[in-house]
């Protein structure tokens, strides 16, 4: 048995399961809760103070400028 939530809500099912070699059906009360997590990723330019909202459905290009790694610096 699996459950995939498509909306935020409580659900309750009464499931009847037929079991081989058992005289009566098995009755199970199943309760579940669907929930959604909303998140947003932003990238902020510390020099200009501009904020860019990153898209989950597209490629996001981020220019890191000059990056210092240990003793050397790389230009990306």
Instruction: Determine the Cα–Cα distance for residues 24 and 2; give it in Å rounded to an integer.
Output: 24
Domain contains 72: no
16: left (phi over 0), alpha (psi -120 to 50) or beta: beta
The more confidently predicted of residues 41 and 71 is 41
**Chain segment 11-63, per-residue pLDDT in tens:** 898 999 888 988 999 999 989 888 877 788 888 877 787 888 888 888 888 87
Number of domains in the chain: 1
Does the pTM of the predicted model rise above 0.85?
no
Strand pairing partners for 42? 53
Domain contains 15: yes
Domain contains 66: no
The more confidently predicted of residues 75 and 63 is 63
Which structural domain range is residue 9 located in? Answer: 1-55
Domain contains 17: yes
- Which pLDDT value is given to residue 29? 93
Domain contains 63: no
Domain contains 22: yes
């Amino acid at each position: 048995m699996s459950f995939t939530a498509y909306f935020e809500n409580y659900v309750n099912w009464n499931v009847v399961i037929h079991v081989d070699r058992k005289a009566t059906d098995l009755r199970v009360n199943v309760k579940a809760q669907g929930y959604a997590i909303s998140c947003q990723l932003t990238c902020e330019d510390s020099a200009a103070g501009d904020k860019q909202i990153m898209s989950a459905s597209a490629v996001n290009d981020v220019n890191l400028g000059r990056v210092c790694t240990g003793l050397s610096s790389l230009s990306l």
